[in-house]
Amino acid sequence: NPPYFDYIIWRIIPDVSARVLLLKKGEIDVALDLPVREILGLLGDPNIKIISAPSANQLAIPMNAKIPPFDNINLRWALTYAFPYDEVISTVFLGHAQPNYGPIPTGFPGALAERRFKTDLDLARQYLEKAGYSRGLTLELYYDASYSQHEQIGILFKKNLEKIGVNLELRPLPTGQFQTGLRERTLGMFIQEALGWINTPEYYFNMNFNSQSSANSNGYSNPEVDALISLALTEMDDVKRAELNARIQELVLADATWIYICQPNFLLAMRRDLEGYVYQNTELHHFWLLRRTGD
């Protein structure tokens, strides 16, 4: 059957409040990338419906170990223990996110069942001392300026780092400039979301931690990990592949180049008279499935 709609008008509306207002007025039918707080504010509107689903999208803070001072593993551990994991999930995402404990997304075979590296400021101070830094260290955190939730995450991280004597400067970048930094691997520490299109651990390993992957935005490189990923991608035996994935996960965790935060739920706001939307694990929008009721 042909699509119900002949075409779609795609409007770029950077202001979140403007997108919400236009959706409520019915001047647009779907509003993309709304923060959780705005989504929840629409729940009582009889003309709006919310599509919600758990997601494998990993929200994390990668660090480039080739860019000082992030070449110091003790500093990376200090930052890992200083991050406010639970506070981000409860205050930024208002509980609408799953914790992510490691390089294998929550819900996948082999994923860690609990967080090994919890917020512990005393331990963070100890690692900071091991790294050779006393009070007064200044770091930069880059993020895409179009994601308001990433700014909120940065603010919470900054508050925790201040408690251990580290100053964090927040560096929002326009989307194009941020993407260039990811592609060229010039950002020392940044917030990113990583969503794969195939829900297997080895696919995510290959995407995020293979040194030759274009999606490996922090330049992570471990020859043993590269070799094991190649084996896992072609191993047909489920047990052997699981063993390979477990080994890869341990090696990647030991290198401490990512701060694993959470997997925000997929949330999409649209007019109630639209029907037929089907959530895809790729989180691409199949708008040709939509139709308008009552026509």
What tens digit of pLDDT does each residue of 41-67 get? 999 999 999 999 999 999 999 999 999
- Tokens of residue 13, six digits: 């509306």
Cβ atoms 204, 233 nearer than 8 A: no
Phi, psi of 57 (to 5 degrees): -70, 115
pTM: 0.92
Angle between helices 201-209 and 223-234 (to 10 degrees): 150
The pLDDT, as a whole number, for residue 295 is 59
In the chain, residues under CATH classification 3.10.105.10 are: 58-264
What confidence score (pLDDT) does residue 136 get?
85
Where in the chain do CATH 3.40.190.10 domains reside? 16-54+266-292
Which CATH class, in words, describes the domain spanning 58-264?
Answer: alpha beta
In the chain, alpha helices (H): 16-25, 36-41, 73-82, 85-87, 121-130, 148-163, 175-184, 201-209, 223-234, 238-255
Compute the C-alpha angle 77/181/174, nearest 5°.
Answer: 110
Question: Which CATH number, 3.40.190.10, 3.30.470.10, 3.90.1150.10, 3.40.50.720, labels domain 16-54+266-292?
Answer: 3.40.190.10
The two three-digit tokens of residue 212, written as one number:
């030759």
Low-confidence residues of the chain, pLDDT below 50? none
